[in-house]
Chain A
Amino acid sequence: MKTSIQIIILIFIATELKAQNEPTKGHIYNSIVGTNSEPIIYNSVNLNTYELLTTNLQVSKEDNLQKIVFAPLKLVDADNIGFLRETRINLAQNNGISTFGVGFGYDNSSPFSKRAEEIFGSIAFPSLRPKSPDENDLMYEIYKSTFYSMLDSIYADTYVRLIQNSFKMTVAYNHSFFEIIGGDKMDFDNDSIIDNYYSTESNNFSIGGTYVFSLLTAINISLHYNLKYSSPKQSERKVDYIGGSFSFAQRIVVLNNQYRTTPDYLKSLFM
């Protein structure tokens, strides 16, 4: 049995936001948690992401990774699918190794969680009052503008409350294949050993937890159990690896401290 432990201490993320005159729905953002919260060694099997769709592209001299994590059940309207709403599918290609995975999770920052119901239910504010008979149009428009601004703030603050001190957990299984997954078994180098005997490269079981202190700070811990062949040759033996990771993410610079009043933030809620 081999053991590998890798610890990443800090991930620094700097964020810049610019206001736009015409707010448009933002669909791409950088999250404090997600596929980058785990060390590179587990990037291809990491399912600790909580968005509808996450993509990850990593290019280096020795390590190239293309990856998509998709949570299709987030698109389902039904309200009775429970924890399955956080089901995720992983598709990754890492130096010729293809990985397919599925993960089940719990996320108490989900807007459909019991915790969200409590937070949403605690929101209380006045209704928009009608224009008074003795009030001129300008004064009423100023009142309405202030009221709508308050609505936007309440909406944004609700999601901040939802993400603060939230906990997320993922249990996942990933199956990785060598480059050749089918066809005739061949002995290419005539050493009486089949060179493409195994199609499965590894089976990876993992459990991960993330705690988000705020929009700025999060920690991630995960454990992996990996059954792996180092090559597809018939002479190889399956070796089990146990690995773990710990990461701490902290945004150290927010370039626009007024970001919470920008149309971009109010539309996407992410920094």
Chain B
Amino acid sequence: MSFILITLKIKNMKHLFQNLNIKRFTSEDIKNIFEEDINKSDVNLTFKWTPSRQIIFYKLHLNVSGQTIDLLNGSSVNTEIGTNTFNIGTYDDSVDLEINYGILALVAVPRIISLLSQTNPTAAYQVSPKDPGKTNKIESGDKFEESIKYKVQ
């Protein structure tokens, strides 16, 4: 458990002081930006599916403030380990996010769900299918695309 906590802590730290101007700053800037950062929420999208089923994430687009960003940075993600988390970014409260994703199943995937989580305050939801406990199914060769809308808390 301690290993997991340390990992998460390090992961969240990478977003700190992103807005600090390295060319010119004061101790007041450091304090203000840190306070700003820790009040923001880190948002993650996790996919959990039947292990050993190879899937390809070929689309992960984020619409925020009128801009569309390719969160895959131009390269598809190919994995079969059964869980994969994408960091969606760090946002202020009440920011509207729209995430569009696409998955190609190389073999049939009997069960797959997507979960959206955020820090500060901590919250996690099953976003596809929307009913907790239910799962989606993807046939071999099928392309599974969905859109999720989320308001950061």
Contacts and interface: CB of A to CB of B under 8 A. Distances in A.
A266 B75 CA distance: 23
A20 B128 CA distance: 32
B83 interface: no
Interface in B35-83: 50-52, 54, 56-61, 68-70, 72-76, 78, 80
Contacts of A155: 104, 106, 141
Contacts of A128: 58-59, 61, 102
A126 B50 CA distance: 25
Interface of B: 50-52, 54, 56-61, 68-70, 72-76, 78, 80, 102, 104, 106-107, 110-111, 139, 141, 143
A124 B78 contact: yes
Given A151-B58, A151-B143, A155-B106, A124 B69 contact: no
Interface of A: 25, 77, 79, 111-112, 116-117, 120-121, 123-131, 147-148, 151-152, 155, 158, 266-267, 269
Given A117-B80, A120-B78, A126-B74, A131 B68 contact: yes
B102 A123 contact: no
Contacts of B58: 125, 127-128, 147, 151
A148 B60 CA distance: 15
A124 B50 CA distance: 22
Q: Is the interface of B mostly helix, strand, loop or mixed?
A: strand
Contacts of B111: 77
B139 to A, nearest CB: 7
13 contacts: A77-B50, A77-B110, A111-B54, A112-B52, A117-B80, A120-B106, A123-B56, A123-B106, A124-B76, A126-B74, A130-B69, A151-B143, A158-B106
Contacts of A130: 61, 68-70
A127 B68 contact: no
**Which 7 residue pairs across A and B have the least CB separation, nearest first?**
A79-B52, A127-B72, A130-B68, A128-B59, A120-B54, A111-B107, A79-B51
| Most chain B beta carbons < 10 A, residue from A117, A127, A151 | A127
Contacts of B59: 127-128
Contact of B141 (A124, A147, A266): A266
A130 B74 CA distance: 10
A124 B110 CA distance: 24
B66 to A, nearest CB: 10
B106 A111 contact: yes
B61 A125 contact: no
A46 to B, nearest CB: 27
B128 to A, nearest CB: 18
A153 B85 CA distance: 27
B51 A125 contact: no
Given A77-B110, A127-B60, A120 B75 contact: no
Contacts of B52: 79, 112
Contacts of A112: 52, 107
Contacts of A152: 141
